[in-house]
Chains A and B, each alone.
Chain A
Amino acid sequence: MRINCPHCGERDVREFTYLGDASVQRPDPQVADALERFTSYVYFRDNPAASHRELWYHGACQAWLVVTRDTRSHEIFGVESLKPRTLGAGSGGTAP
């Protein structure tokens, strides 16, 4: 598998470290059902046999990337730099 880093070009998968599903988002700890939301955020995954948006870290340039990849064939459809995401209202932080 080779990943096309937006900063460095196409590089061997050995240079990258996998984190997991990019779609999970840290919930707002202030909402009423925060416990359920955090349980889901930390432990539960869609785990699709399909196209999967996932986080990879490129050790060479220290960038977090969002890779869109088919988990059935390992074919990579796209690689983007991770943009800071806003948390739920009121928390004011970013993730990951």
Chain B
Amino acid sequence: MRYSAFALAWNAVTGQTSWKPAWRDAAPCESYDVVIVGGGAHGLATAYYLAKEHGIANVAVLEKSWVGSGNAGRNTTIIRSNYLLPGNIPFYEWSMKLWEGLEQDLNYNTMVSQRGVLNLYHSDLQRDAFARRGNAMLLHGVDAELLDREQVRALVPHLDFDDARFPIQGALLQRRGGTVRHDAVVWGYARAADRRGVDIVQNCEVTGIRISNGRVVGVDTTRGPIRADKVALAVAGSSSRLAAMAGLRLPIESHVLQAFVSEGVKPLIHQVITFGAGHFYISQSDKGGLVFGGDLDGYNSYAQRGNLPAIEDVCEGGMAIMPMIGRLRIVRSWGGLVDMSMDGSPIIDRTPIEGLYLNAGWCYGGFKATPASGWCFAHLIARDEPHRSAVAYRLDRFATGRLIDERGAGAQPNLH
């Protein structure tokens, strides 16, 4: 499907009847070079970069429901690369660079909006920690600015700067951070991958992984068996379930993370703002709704819905920095399943089974990672070696001790 001003005008006067599907609803073939399990943004991005960067287009993306029905459509659409640790910064900065060129690359409007991400700090100690983080970012070529209280006030005058417990002292600002329209990312990658010959197979749930002599040979699905030389898992939230089909246990717990949208209001919040003394992040969608979230519920869950205590906690965080939103009504809330890894960082690696590749453990960070995750996973699948920006995301780091614990919370997944 091509879009043009002419097509827009033509459909406007003909009752919107001549639009065609943006990608084929493919039926599965008997065999592929690569089968990607999971038709979320990561899986589709992987397929796209496999075809575009590595010339491997005999690829199927298997999705148990419709593409983008899982976490790709359940996140809070934030992009940023304000990380501290050397294992993380190059990866997330590579992702940011890909975001910056994504619309041109896909020829699709994904609404990349670099409106800035403001991480508020509320104490001298936190300012010092943010200064350190900002310096780490600058050393890696990432933009970062440490703002004092008055500089923040100039940007966001309506915050509660004088809260008795958590006065706002300043913020770490990444101007290149922002938001992206999450569904458009899915649709853009799906359309672009489909054009390069990738089969996107929906309503096709993987029920088993076929292994012969320690080598993957295909998958069983609800639409029949499919042979494949390589099988790649990109099913964050359900990684443990899929890995169990291959006899693997992962350093991951599945947790539920809730997110919220308020009723629409006039332009109020022009950045992404995070509360430093609790856990709360907020931005405003183009429709006017405030999109926000915070902590996990905190217990293992595959329910895609959470409980009220987490909602209360998130709203308390919001009230602490912007009490004027207290009268707004929440119009929707939802839960997504996140792979909480044991050190809070992802895994992009081979597995002990030859030909089986794993992309998992995204914790809170999956959406912003989408382009680089697809890029690096495709690189790994095509060349059997890690991409230079994802070398630290090894599965064996939990045995070797080379953990990437950005938060310093230890092996307690619900604290990352």
Beta-carbon contact of B251 and A44 below 8 Å: yes
Question: What is the minimal beta-carbon distance from A15 to any residue of chain B, in angstroms?
Answer: 10
Q: How many residues of A contact B (CB 8 A)?
A: 26
- B411: CB under 8 A from chain A? yes
- B250: CB under 8 A from chain A? yes
Chain A hits for B299, CB < 8 A: 18, 54, 69
Q: How far is the CA of A40 from the CA of B411 in the complex (A)?
A: 11
Q: How far is the CA of A52 from the CA of B300 in the complex (A)?
A: 9
Q: How far is the CA of A33 from the CA of B384 in the complex (A)?
A: 30
Beta-carbon contact of B254 and A49 below 8 Å: yes
Residues of A56-72 whose CB lies within 8 A of B: 69, 71-72
Chain A hits for B249, CB < 8 A: 40, 44-46
Question: What is the minimal beta-carbon distance from B233 to any residue of chain A, in angstroms?
Answer: 14
Q: How far is the CA of A84 from the CA of B307 in the complex (A)?
A: 31
Beta-carbon contact of A45 and B252 below 8 Å: yes
Q: How far is the CA of A61 from the CA of B121 in the complex (A)?
A: 36
Beta-carbon contact of B241 and A49 below 8 Å: yes
Chain B hits for A42, CB < 8 A: 342, 398, 411
Residue of A whose beta carbon sits closest to that of B397: A43
Q: How far is the CA of A1 from the CA of B241 in the complex (A)?
A: 24
Beta-carbon contact of A18 and B414 below 8 Å: yes
Q: How far is the CA of A25 from the CA of B300 in the complex (A)?
A: 18
Beta-carbon contact of B398 and A39 below 8 Å: yes
Residue of B whose beta carbon sits closest to that of A16: B299
Beta-carbon contact of B251 and A45 below 8 Å: yes
Q: How far is the CA of A49 from the CA of B240 in the complex (A)?
A: 9
Chain B hits for A7, CB < 8 A: none
- A93: CB under 8 A from chain B? no
- B238: CB under 8 A from chain A? yes
- B164: CB under 8 A from chain A? no
Q: How far is the CA of A36 from the CA of B240 in the complex (A)?
A: 19
Question: What is the minimal beta-carbon distance from A25 to any residue of chain B, in angstroms?
Answer: 15
Chain B hits for A18, CB < 8 A: 298-299, 414
Instruction: Give B311-347 as 1s and 0s: 1 = Cβ < 8 Å from A's Cβ atoms.
Output: 0000000000000000000000000000000100000
- B1: CB under 8 A from chain A? no
Chain B hits for A46, CB < 8 A: 240, 244, 249
Residues of B82-133 whose CB lies within 8 A of A: none
Question: What is the minimal beta-carbon distance from A51 to any residue of chain B, in angstroms?
Answer: 11
Beta-carbon contact of A47 and B309 below 8 Å: no
Question: What is the minimal beta-carbon distance from A36 to any residue of chain B, in angstroms?
Answer: 8
Question: What is the minimal beta-carbon distance from B120 to any residue of chain A, in angstroms?
Answer: 26
Beta-carbon contact of B240 and A74 below 8 Å: no
Q: A13-B309, A14-B309, A39-B399 are in contact. Are A47 and B254 (CB under 8 A)?
A: yes
Instruction: Give B56-100 as 1s and 0s: 1 = Cβ < 8 Å from A's Cβ atoms.
Output: 000000000000000000000000000000000000000000000
Question: What is the minimal beta-carbon distance from A72 to any residue of chain B, in angstroms?
Answer: 5
- B302: CB under 8 A from chain A? yes
Residues of A10-53 whose CB lies within 8 A of B: 12-14, 18, 20-21, 35-36, 39-40, 42-49, 52
Chain B hits for A21, CB < 8 A: 253, 300
Which residues of B approach A to under 8 Å, CB–CB? Answer: 238, 240-241, 244, 249-254, 298-303, 307, 309, 342, 398-399, 411-414
* 15 chain-A/chain-B pairs, Cβ below 8 angstroms: A13-B307, A13-B309, A18-B299, A20-B253, A20-B412, A20-B414, A21-B253, A43-B399, A43-B411, A47-B254, A49-B254, A49-B302, A54-B300, A71-B301, A74-B301
